[in-house]
A = this chain, B = another copy of it.
């Protein structure tokens, strides 16, 4: 399930499949509408090949063509993406808890999973008038600079942790932790407390607080996060609500550690 350390592990452009996928990869958050010549250039394909493959993707529904002849991502990809068990299926199970968290805190709410060395947001609820955030549904960020990323990294395999700790840690703000020794201590603290706090790591003014979500085998499968303005809120005040919410989602997923009835005391 882990991809390479790079952002996107493209299939070989030499195969027919690789050429088709390169057409899709020409699209990005900053390039949502492309002409045929832009697709051809970004994908490294001749105009003729790009035209033929884009045509097949339009027929299939992965691309749409507007009245100006430009291409954009189509709805059939959403239909397929909705089938991803770790994506929109997880989102659907978690949704009532995310709503509760959103309306009890009025902060930005994230649901994220780890994909290789990155965190991918599978749900984002945006609070109006709150601190600005970079994360968008479907987008990827490095694990070390986000609250949900830290919660996921702290509970990942030791091998994966070591690979992240030994790779260059990208700096986003003057406060981003880029020293592996500091990051190692942070991860131990996340495991000890069950909560990750990322203060101004990805954007100045933003504090992220996150908690892990566990699955049927009690393994960490996702993380839930809140982002608030650094001056607006003491992040520690949000620990009880985010813990309760993470437990609720874990219980829905069948996690054994989240199954105790609240208030029940086992044993004598």
Contacts and interface: CB of A to CB of B under 8 A. Distances in A.
Number of identical monomers bound together in the oligomeric complex = 2
B17 A76 contact: no
A137 B72 contact: no
Contacts of A264: none
Nearest to A72: B85
Given A81-B138, A85-B32, A96-B128, A20 B9 contact: no
A61 to B, nearest CB: 6
A84 B74 contact: yes
A interface bracket (residues with beta carbon within 8 Å of B):
35 or more
Interface string A1-37: 1010000111110011110110010011100110000
Please indicate which of the listed interface residues A15, A77, A139 has the most CB atoms of chain B within 10 Å of its own CB.
A77
Contacts of A65: 1
Given A77-B84, A81-B80, A115-B75, A64 B120 contact: no
B88 A137 contact: yes
Contacts of A60: 8-11, 21
Contacts of A57: 11, 17
Given A11-B56, A84-B74, A1 B79 contact: no
Given A8-B61, A60-B10, A78 B84 contact: yes
A120 B75 contact: yes
A113 B11 CA distance: 32
A95 interface: yes
11 contacts: A11-B57, A12-B56, A16-B16, A16-B17, A21-B62, A32-B89, A74-B115, A75-B86, A80-B81, A81-B138, A99-B102
Contact of A61 (B3, B20, B91, B103): B3
Given A17-B20, A81-B138, 11 more contacts: A1-B64, A61-B115, A64-B84, A73-B81, A74-B84, A74-B86, A75-B86, A75-B115, A78-B81, A78-B120, A78-B138
